[in-house]
Amino acid sequence: MKIILLGCPGAGKGTQAEGLVKKYGLTHLSTGDLFRAEIAKGSPLGQKVQDYMKRGTLVPDEVVVEVVAAKLDDISGGWLLDGFPRTLPQAQALDGYLKSNQVKIDAVLYLAMEEDTVVSRLSGRRSCAKCKAVYNVATKPPKTEGKCDGCGGDLMQREDDKEATIRKRMMVFNDLTQPLVTFYKTECPFHEVDGSGSPGEVGEKLFAILDKVQETQKA
């Protein structure tokens, strides 16, 4: 299956993507994770994108599109896009790429969220510097403050999860990414799910949608 996971920052795309790629055997392509890994390596791409990310603004379309197209070329089976596309030009570039490769999107999954819920969720988010496990000081605290339950690594707050940057990222989302909802409603099989429930509840709803997609494909 070829899946696009849409949602504002903090809607739970990363958490849900983990469950979905495992259950359906997909390759997870998260542009945010990819850029963070490049920054950690200090690569030329990392250096190019780090200032945009720190400020909570978007990396230029042409940079993102080139990186994603190269990654998609390397994937042989199904995939799930998380955090891409994020602007109309990115969606149009993806559309062109898919058409020229005769590939169709099986489902666009949109995790809908209210802005205030997002801000409290993101400002409490912490992730393990070593194994990347994600916690939340309000809703999923670690057993020992500041330490990962699994590997004991230090828990860090992402630079772009500070409140002012979160508000900025939400503005960027509303201006540039929200229009994709209208685009995909007419272009692809589109499913909206309330992202404010627990990860388990949201996951069950997404599984039900993709199980149906798979059944239809088998029929």
Residues lying near ligand AMP in the complex (CB under 6 A) are found at 9, 31-32, 35, 52-53, 56, 58-59, 64, 83-84, 86, 90, 160, 169
CB-closest chain residue to ligand AMP: 32
Q: Which residue has the tokens 């379309």?
A: 61
Q: Which residues pair with 147 in a beta bridge?
A: 154
158 is catalytic: yes
22 is catalytic: no
Helices (H), the chain: 13-24, 31-41, 44-55, 61-74, 88-100, 115-123, 163-172, 179-187, 199-218
13 is catalytic: yes
Closer CB to ligand AMP, 30 or 155, in the complex: 30
* Total residues found in the chain within this entry: 219
Q: Which of 2, 36, 126, 169 is catalytic?
A: 169
Helices (H), 75-189: 88-100, 115-123, 163-172, 179-187
Q: Which of 48, 147, 158, 162 is catalytic?
A: 158
Closer CB to ligand AMP, 106 or 160, in the complex: 160
Closer CB to ligand AMP, 147 or 159, in the complex: 159
Active-site positions?
A: 13, 86, 125, 158, 169
